[in-house]
Amino acid sequence: MIRLFRIGGIPIRLDAGWFFVFGLIVWSLASGYFPYVLPGGSDGAYWAGGVVAALLLFTSVLLHELSHALVARAHGVGVAAITLHVFGGVSELETEPPDPRAEFGIAIIGPIVSVTLGGLAFAARQVAAGHDWLAALFTYLAVVNVVVGVFNLVPGFPLDGGRILRAMLWWWSGRFERASEIASRVGMGVAMLLAALGVARLLAGEPTGGVWFLLLGLFLFQAARRAHDVARIRSRLAPVTVASVMTPSAVAVSSQAAVDDVRNGELAALELGSLPVVDGDTLVGFLRRVDADRARGRAFSVAEVMAPIRPDVVVAPSDSAWLALTRLGNNDVGRVAVVDRGRLVGMVAREDVARALSAPRPSLDRAA
């Protein structure tokens, strides 16, 4: 996973597979779309147009995901990260929406934004009439954004349409876990239909469309199955408090200590990738092993090289173990600090959460 930048505190990341799809889109535009709509151009112009169009496409996808994130925040739901991947993007929510209405609002805004972007691109295409390259570019963006918006309404969880279906099932049944299970199973069914359509198109002699539908079906099936598994894990961890899974009395280092002393001392002895840094009892940052190694042999204090505190590395004792697991997967220090009124009271690592998951359900219920 490649971290790009932050927007409003939300990390924006790229899955490694994104580069393959980006290149494939650029190639298809440069060798197919632009030569077809703009015959007589140079190869360099076609490839440049392909790169620009692909970048604008993924910018549209990012805006789609940002709309989910902003509406989620408006409903009090934290956003751990936005990841652009092979078939678009995903907004990773730290907790589930508080009610079906919030779930519906978070889900529906994405398709609305995509269709709106398509409409704006179509309007821009009308304004650009007479400028062939701009008209071709805006035509592509108009069509592809509308397609993205409409396709996301397919009731295949975790697509937006699947989340809308879950919101409706949740509202009807009053049971979030059951709604999640049904929506994810429907998503797997939709994925198998897409894969079957891909196979049918391959047999009919349409290799390009067949391969795309087959890959999309397989990707959606894996995503739906993963969403099903995540829903089960969330149902186990959501009622469990951080206080019941954390390791108390965590080893911490002073912000005034010398980096080399800590690197050769606590970091070496404990074989950890990072250590919390305190000023008195107050947590002020994390010293990562990679930062300590970079400062090797230089007279730096821990405070000068530590990673400062961010929301994605801190939880409270009363928070859910699910929130801790979510933040574990989206920070670069490998653990999360448990802080009570600014004071470090413990740490949570993946092993702590794994122990909670492996415990029999009655034990988890008592811990909650």
- What is the three-class DSSP state of 347? strand
114-118, 128-132, 216-220, 286-290: which is most confident = 114-118
Residues 59 and 146 in one domain: yes
Domain boundary among 216, 237, 258: 237
Residues 232 and 347 in one domain: no
Banded model confidence at residue 353, pLDDT cuts 50, 70, 90: confident
Contact 226, 234 (CB under 8 A): no
Domain count of the fold of the chain: 2
Q: What are phi and psi of 11, to 5 degrees?
A: -65, 135
In DSSP terms, which residues pair with 278 in a beta bridge? 254, 283
Question: What is the reported pLDDT for 14?
Answer: 82
Provide mean pLDDT across the span 53-82.
90
120-133: average pLDDT: 87
The predicted structure's pLDDT at residue 282: 82
Clarify whether residues 18 and 162 are in a common domain: yes
User: Does one domain contain both 257 and 140?
Assistant: no
In this structure, of 86-90, 200-204, 252-256, 267-271, the range with the lowest mean pLDDT score is: 267-271
| Residue that terminates a domain, selected from 215, 237, 259 | 237
Residue 328 contacts residue 347 (beta carbons within 8 Å): no
Per DSSP, what are the bridge partners of residue 82?
Answer: 12, 91
- 118-122, 176-180, 336-340, range with greatest mean pLDDT: 118-122
pLDDT of residue 362: 45
Model confidence at 365, pLDDT cuts 50, 70, 90, reads: very low
Looking at residue 261, its pLDDT comes to 80
pTM for this one? 0.69
| Residues 205 and 347 reside in one and the same domain | no
Using one digit for the tens of pLDDT, what is the confidence trace for 78-94? Answer: 888 888 876 677 887 87
Statement to judge: residues 79 and 221 lie in one domain: yes
Q: What is the predicted pLDDT for the residue at 51?
A: 92
CA–CA separation, 117 vs 113, rounded Å?
Answer: 6
Are residues 256 and 193 part of one domain?
no
Same-domain check for residues 187 and 154: yes
In this structure, the answer to whether residues 221 and 249 fall within a common structural domain is: no
Q: Are 187 and 163 in contact (CB under 8 A)?
A: no
Q: Which residue has the higher pLDDT, 139 or 336?
A: 139
| Statement to judge: residues 169 and 205 lie in one domain | yes
Domain endpoint, select from 237, 268, 286: 237
Mean pLDDT over the full length of the chain: 83
**Average pLDDT over every residue of 178-197:** 86
Same domain, 197 and 283: no
Looking at the DSSP assignment, which residues form a beta bridge with residue 286? 276, 307
Q: How much is the average pLDDT of 283-298?
A: 78
CATH code for position 249: 3.10.580.10
Q: How confident is the model at residue 64 (pLDDT cuts 50, 70, 90)?
A: very high
The pLDDT score that the predictor gives to residue 103 is 92
Q: Quote the CA–CA distance of 304 and 307 in Å, as a whole number.
A: 9
Mean pLDDT (whole number) for 63-85: 88
User: Domain limits at 325?
Assistant: 242-367
Query: 359 and 270 in one domain?
Result: yes
- Interhelix angle 321-328/350-358, nearest 10 degrees: 140
Q: Is the pLDDT of residue 277 over 90?
A: no
Q: What pLDDT was estimated at residue 77?
A: 86
